[in-house]
Homo-oligomer: A and B are copies of this chain.
Amino acid sequence: MATLSVPAAVPAVAEDCEQLRKAFAGWGTNERLIVSILAHRDAAQRRAIRRAYAEAYGEELLRAIGDEIHGKFERAVIQWTLDPAERDAELANEEAKKWQPGGRALVEIACARTPAQLFAAKQAYHDRFKRSLEEDVAAHVTGDFRKLLVPLVSAYRYDGPEVNTSLAHSEAKLLNGKINEKAYSDDEVVRILTTRSKAQLLATFNSYNDQFSHPITKDLKEDPKNEFLSTLRAIIRCFTCPDRYFEKVVRLALGGVGTDEDTLTRVITTRAEVDLKVIKEAYQKRNSVPLEKAVSKETSRDYEDMMLALLGAEY
């Protein structure tokens, strides 16, 4: 379900490094060459290239890239080249430091990764920032959002398939009661959403649907401008339908006055090796236009090349 395309015959790591070195050399930069290499290597291959590059030239590859290219193209190439766990650590740190209620990186990292991947991101966070993710979120986020996001990024959820159906039934009822009272940030709502396993939550949301004849997300739509409610919906949708969740994020990023490149880059770099093919299908279905075409219309030059390459567009 990934869109990443790796050539059948991948060049040797040393050759990739040499080519990248050439792309950086002399006046001007060969951006196409950078894209043609890095956008077509998987996480393990990129890691090997970074290690070999640093050994061969005594310089970090990401630093060399930063010296050569700039702006949103630089951001996309660097974010993509990072290991998934390091990338998540970077995105989480950026969002925690300048928290705004519409932020989605923390929600996605907490809910659209496996518990093991979230833990790997937290380890990478320690290594890079010499602090923990939870302490930074707790220190920068305030109010109801803090109450929700700190446990959301802290919990190490169970990842197995076991489900307690009677618990799902009673917790669905409990959620419905709190929602009816408009007690959206109630301790019990936070407890259920931040600690239960994905399988258990899916059972709870299904039971909600069965008991109350419509999805829980519908009941959380009272006020479309209420950012706390839309964060709750984002959490639920990251668990229940990540493809449609990400489709919507991309649609809004492309659709506003001016494109939201940071968001577009985040979704494409974090999903290209996971499920971007399914997100593309959801996009086509919802918008009657291929995602590549929409991205191509809203972006340009090297940044466009990079996005299209990760989207698996045919050259």
Contact = CB atoms under 8 A, between A and B. Distances in A.
A280 interface: no
A156 B122 contact: yes
A131 interface: yes
Contact of A155 (B132, B158, B187, B196): B132
A27 to B, nearest CB: 42
A39 to B, nearest CB: 32
Q: Give the interface size bracket for A toward B.
A: 20 to 34
A197 B138 contact: no
Given A122-B156, A154-B151, A195 B132 contact: yes
Interface string A167-206: 0000000000000000000010001000111000000000
Contacts of A158: 126, 130-132, 135
Nearest to A127: B160
A235 B195 CA distance: 23
Nearest to A195: B135
Contact of A195 (B138, B155, B191, B195): B138
A310 interface: no
Contacts of A119: 119, 156
A130 B195 contact: no
Contacts of A157: 132, 134-135
Contact of A134 (B122, B126, B133, B156): B156
Contacts of A150: 151, 191, 195
Nearest to A142: B187
Interface in A108-162: 119, 122-123, 126, 130-135, 138-139, 146, 150-151, 154-160, 162
B134 A155 contact: yes
Q: Helix, strand, loop or mixed for chain A's interface?
A: helix
B191 A131 contact: no
A133 B197 CA distance: 11
Nearest to A162: B130
A10 B183 CA distance: 62
Nearest to A171: B139
A150 B150 CA distance: 11
Nearest to A126: B158
Name the residue in A123, A131, A157, A191 with the highest tally of chain B Cβ atoms < 10 Å from its Cβ: A131
A50 B305 CA distance: 57
Contacts of A135: 155, 157-158, 195-197
18 contacts: A119-B119, A126-B160, A132-B157, A132-B158, A132-B197, A134-B151, A134-B154, A134-B157, A135-B155, A135-B195, A135-B196, A138-B191, A138-B195, A139-B191, A150-B191, A150-B195, A151-B151, A154-B155
Which 8 pairs show the lowest CB-CB distances between chains A and B? A154-B154, A135-B195, A132-B158, A138-B191, A130-B162, A134-B155, A138-B195, A134-B195
Interface of A: 119, 122-123, 126, 130-135, 138-139, 146, 150-151, 154-160, 162, 187, 191, 195-197
